[in-house]
Amino acid sequence: MSKYKLVMLRHGEGAWNIENRFCSWVDQKLSEDGLREAEACGKHLKSLGFEFDLVFTSILSRSIQTAWLVMQELGQEWVPVRSSWRLNERHYGALIGLNRAELALNHGEEQVKIWRRSYDVAPPPIDGSHPYYQEIHTDRRYTFCDIQKDKLPKSESLKQVLERLLPFWNEEIAPEIRKGKSVLISAHGNSTRALLKHLEGYIGGLSTALQNAVDKPLMPASPPLTFRQSVRTNHVTAPSDLSVTAEDGAAAERGAGVES
Ligand SMILES: O=C(O)[C@@H](COP(=O)(O)O)OP(=O)(O)O
């Protein structure tokens, strides 16, 4: 039996994932395939006997929908859900809505890679002239967050995602895991990546399979990433048909821990 139980999912496919556009804080719903992926993930977790005590999501619909569908398939709809902007996808600033391939043609592959995968480089900030500025920055969902609306990010590096995520992890998530609750986090590529980076020190380095799993911006055919931590056996396990690369197959094994 694992001492600590944590499952992290990236949401299922959204419409802008198919179009290869930066979705970020735009509130896209899951596509038909995305709905099916989330259901399939729930079915799979059920077949493995997962039971959750608490669910965390971002305040973006694709993460919430994914959590709902998973919990519905598990027959555990009653489990409390806590949602926070701190689990939102990275704020991609002025890049929001842009097509990655077109961006690479205009700015070069290397620059796009830096914007997407460097640790401490933030993309250019969004401003009032951006087509999605109003939709995002006047959105009612940000009115009563634990941050003033005008202090919300205008663009974020992965480092900044981790900085805004950590208070939520330290104060809301990790204490519940330490109490022994089985926790599901349904989030996004970069908020998951940031959290994995934070946990890396405790789980002793990430396997290539896990890194690749969260690295895929487009996973139309892939179920969301799932892994669980076992302190006793020092394993982080990606169940076989949820591991996204064939490289190390069923299990990515590393030491584990949830200390913040
Ligand atoms: O904002 C987006 O479009 C993707 C991440 O983009 P990349 O960092 O992979 O380019 O986030 P998600 O689909 O996980 O919510």
> What is the predicted pLDDT for the residue at 195?
86
Which amino acid is present at 155? S
32: enclosing H helix or E strand: helix 32-47
> What is the predicted pLDDT for the residue at 225?
45
Q: Cβ distance 254 to 207 under 8 Å?
A: yes
Taking the CA of residue 16 as reference, the ligand 1 atom at the shortest distance is 3
What is the C-alpha to C-alpha distance for residues 49 and 43, in angstroms, rounded to an integer? 10
> What is the predicted pLDDT for the residue at 126?
98
> What is the predicted pLDDT for the residue at 234?
36
DSSP label of 173: I
Which of 9, 11, 17, 91 gets mutated to test ligand 1 (max ligand atoms within 8 A of its CB)?
Answer: 17
Give the model's confidence band at 207: pLDDT under 50 very low, under 70 low, under 90 confident, else very high: low
CB atoms under 10 Å from CB of 19, counted, come to 13
Interface ipTM: 0.95
Residue 32 has pLDDT above 80, yes or no: yes
Residues of the chain with pLDDT > 90, as a percent, come to 55
**Active-site residue numbers?**
11, 89
**Lowest pLDDT segment from 30-44, 105-119, 201-215:** 201-215
| Cα-to-centroid distance, 20 and ligand 1 (Å) | 9
Residues at CB less than 6 angstroms from ligand 1: 10, 14, 17, 22-24, 89, 92, 116, 188-190, 217
The structure tokens 């890396």 sit at 200
| Cα-to-centroid distance, 47 and ligand 1 (Å) | 29
> What is the predicted pLDDT for the residue at 178?
83
| Cα-to-centroid distance, 91 and ligand 1 (Å) | 10
Q: Cβ distance 158 to 113 under 8 Å?
A: no
The protein residue whose alpha carbon is closest to atom 7 in ligand 1 is 217
Residue 7 has pLDDT above 60, yes or no: yes
What is the C-alpha to C-alpha distance for residues 58 and 49, in angstroms, rounded to an integer? 25
The protein residue whose alpha carbon is closest to atom 8 in ligand 1 is 116
Answer whether 0.90 is exceeded by the pTM: no
Q: pLDDT, tens digit, for every residue of 122-172?
A: 999 999 999 999 999 999 999 999 999 999 999 999 999 999 999 999 999
Give the model's confidence band at 205: pLDDT under 50 very low, under 70 low, under 90 confident, else very high: low
DSSP SS3 for 171: helix
| Cα-to-centroid distance, 1 and ligand 1 (Å) | 34
> What is the predicted pLDDT for the residue at 37?
86
> What is the predicted pLDDT for the residue at 45?
84
